[in-house]
Amino acid sequence: MNRPLVALCALAALAALPLAAPAVEPAHHHEHAAPAAGPLPGGSLYQLGATLDGSGGPLPLASLRGAPVVVTMFYSSCTTVCPMLTLAMQRTALALSEPERAQVRFLMVSLDAARDTPARLVEFAQSHHLAAPAFVVAHASAEDVRTIAAALGIRYRQLPDGSFSHSSVITLLDRDGVAVARTQALSAEDPAFVERVRAQLK
Amino acid sequence: MQRPAHVLPGLAAAALLAAAAAAAGAAPASLPGGEFTPVVAPGPDQKTVRLAPFALDVTPVTNGDYLAFVTLHPEWRRGSVPSLKADSQYLAHWQGPLTPGEGARAEQPVTHVSWFAARAYCAAHAGRLPTWYEWEYAAAADETRGDARADPAFRERILAWYAVPSGRPLPAVGQGPANVYGLRDLHGLVWEWVEDFGGLMVSGDSRNQGDPDKLQFCGAGALAAESREDYPVLMRMALLSSLEASYTTANLGFRCAYGDPP
């Protein structure tokens, strides 16, 4: 199976050629948190008018503005990569001191809008010790799932059996919702990512 | 390989009507849907997808169409769209936010539009972006057959377009031949956004790969391609998969679909 895979990756590179190179946003690197006031930056995730539904009921995504947010997407019936994703979120939280942790939100949005009801996610959060207010384990509508995933660059596809194949990415948003760091390291600690989280608190 | 025929007898006549309407810039074409075998199998044990009937714009959305849209929806004018939803090249080839100008004639396909922008346009027209399977199904047809993919001459024709260097002015929409559904320009004019562009290369088998750190774009792309010789489709998928939702490029446009989302 290796050969077609390599061929396809090469194809991907080739196929991109006829296009003008997409303009990439300059990365925002202000490590010092901006106060959560004033106009929303153009690159903020909160430009999406999405609504979350977590343990505390419906919650506008933009209401998370003001705290640095560590965000990922998963689904609760996933038995392969999601448990590691959940662990990686917990590990990131535990790498912070308690006062630090209290200033950060850890957001897990389910990709499975149909089956991961808010009630089911509350149960999931309890059984995995993902305690509010630090952890927000949330349902979103299929439409909001699609736009949040798109904005975070998370690739996913629902498979015929109802499960999801998805990329496992954890993104750090600054206090205004602008993505400032990403990690795909799930099986081990990512100290550099934790430092980026900490830097948002200064 | 045996593939089901999609074209019902009455549909050919309907397609002719739709093509005639398209010349006048009118109604979208109706597609019957049904069982379709995509080039890349949807899952480990599944080779086909079932598509509900849907309608599709006969040609890509034009600069003229898009101007009407931004005139009505100021939030989608160049300069007003947040960078999350469109990069800095959004409508960059237009002379001004409400003046396409010489570089973007009304009958040319609109390009330099992001996925967010394309979706907003379609939503404003009571439509949506087609899914990849809908697009692939529509684009599998030629002038006489619902599924021409097994014909090497069909593939050659499409590949010939890929070999044309970009950078020259885009032709007007509607110049390509109408396929059996009455659709034009699915091949040979621009690349087109689809709703699920981000999920195409995510393999059904990736869950079973050992190292989750490898679950990235190419690593997950161990595709069970049904027909690996179908380069035109694989190239299209590879290109779409390499995009981010805010990207805009000079050769990337879209058309809208109508009907319940699958």
CATH, residue A134: 3.40.30.10
How confident is the model at residue B216, as a pLDDT?
Answer: 41
pLDDT band at A83 (very low <50, low <70, confident <90, very high): confident
Q: In this complex, is the C-beta atom of B209 within 8 Å of any C-beta atom belonging to chain A?
A: no
Q: Do A14 and B235 touch (CB under 8 A)?
A: yes
Q: Do A15 and B244 touch (CB under 8 A)?
A: no
Query: Residue ranges of the alpha helices (H) in chain A?
Result: 2-16, 82-94, 98-101, 118-127, 142-152, 191-199
Note the pLDDT tens digit of each residue in A147-191.
999 999 999 988 888 888 888 899 999 999 999 999 988 877 899
Does B110 map to a domain?
no
**Alpha carbons A30 and A39: distance in angstroms, whole number:** 16
Does A5 map to a domain?
no
Interface test with B, best of A46, A165, A166, A187 (most B CBs within 10 A): A165
Does B34 map to a domain?
yes
Does B89 map to a domain?
no
Q: Do A42 and B221 touch (CB under 8 A)?
A: no
Q: Of A23-27, A32-36, A193-197, B181-185, where does mean pLDDT reach its minimum?
A: A23-27
Whether the complex's predicted ipTM is more than 0.85 is answered with no
How far does the CA of residue B183 sit from the closest CA of chain A (Å)? 24
Q: Do A25 and B246 touch (CB under 8 A)?
A: yes
Does B17 map to a domain?
yes
Please tell me which of B29-33, B160-164, B187-191 the model is most confident about, judged by mean pLDDT: B29-33
Does B188 map to a domain?
yes
Does B221 map to a domain?
yes
**More confident call, B43 vs A51:** A51
| pLDDT surpasses 50 at B217 | no
Does B43 map to a domain?
yes
- Count the domains in chain A: 1
Neighbours of B182 (CB within 10 A): 25
How far does the CA of residue B248 sit from the closest CA of chain A (Å)? 6
Please tell me which of A180-189, B6-15, B19-28, B88-97 the model is most confident about, judged by mean pLDDT: B88-97
How confident is the model at residue A7, as a pLDDT?
Answer: 36
pLDDT band at B169 (very low <50, low <70, confident <90, very high): confident
pLDDT band at B207 (very low <50, low <70, confident <90, very high): very low
Rounded to the nearest 10 degrees, how much is the dihedral formed by the CA atoms of B227, B232, B233, B235? 110
Note the pLDDT tens digit of each residue in A22-79.
333 333 444 344 445 789 999 999 999 999 998 888 999 999 999 999 999 999 988 7
Nearest CA-CA partner of B192 in A113, A93, A108, A19: A19
Nearest CA-CA partner of A92 in A10, A176, A17, A186: A186
- Bridge partners (DSSP) of residue A57 are A54
How confident is the model at residue B98, as a pLDDT?
Answer: 97
User: How much is the average pLDDT of B41-55?
Assistant: 89
Reply yes or no: is the peptide bond before residue B82 cis, omega within 30 of 0: no
Does A30 map to a domain?
no
> The domain containing residue A129 runs over which residues?
41-199
Nearest CA-CA partner of B221 in B237, B232, B236, B245: B237
Q: Which residues of A touch B217 (CB under 8 A)?
A: 12, 155, 167
Does B22 map to a domain?
yes
Q: Do A160 and B213 touch (CB under 8 A)?
A: no
Q: Which residues of A touch B88 (CB under 8 A)?
A: 23, 25
Does A173 map to a domain?
yes
How far does the CA of residue A42 sit from the closest CA of chain B (Å)? 4
How far does the CA of residue A99 sit from the closest CA of chain B (Å)? 30
Q: Which residues of A touch B223 (CB under 8 A)?
A: 4-5, 8
B115, amino acid identity: W
How confident is the model at residue A93, as a pLDDT?
Answer: 95
Q: Which residues of B touch A149 (CB under 8 A)?
A: 198
Nearest residue of A to residue B245 by CA position? A150
Angle, CA of B56, B57 and B60, to the nearest 5°: 130
Nearest residue of B to residue A81 by CA position? B212
Q: Which residues of B touch A8 (CB under 8 A)?
A: 201, 218, 221, 223, 225, 234, 238
How confident is the model at residue A202, as a pLDDT?
Answer: 84
User: How much is the average pLDDT of A135-149?
Assistant: 96
Nearest residue of B to residue A146 by CA position? B196
- Bridge partners (DSSP) of residue B31 are B54
Does A32 map to a domain?
no
**Alpha carbons B57 and B27: distance in angstroms, whole number:** 7
How far does the CA of residue B10 sit from the closest CA of chain A (Å)? 32
Q: Of A1-10, A180-189, B235-244, where does mean pLDDT reach its minimum?
A: A1-10
Interface test with B, best of A5, A6, A8, A84 (most B CBs within 10 A): A8
Note the pLDDT tens digit of each residue in B58-78.
999 999 999 999 999 999 999
Nearest residue of B to residue A17 by CA position? B239
- Count the domains in chain B: 1
Q: In this complex, is the C-beta atom of B242 within 8 Å of any C-beta atom belonging to chain A?
A: yes
User: How much is the average pLDDT of B146-167?
Assistant: 84
How far does the CA of residue A157 sit from the closest CA of chain B (Å)? 5
Number of inter-chain CB pairs under 8 A, A vs B: 164
Note the pLDDT tens digit of each residue in B85-131.
999 999 999 999 999 999 999 999 999 999 999 999 999 999 999 99
Q: In this complex, is the C-beta atom of B245 within 8 Å of any C-beta atom belonging to chain A?
A: yes
> The domain containing residue B175 runs over which residues?
9-61+124-258
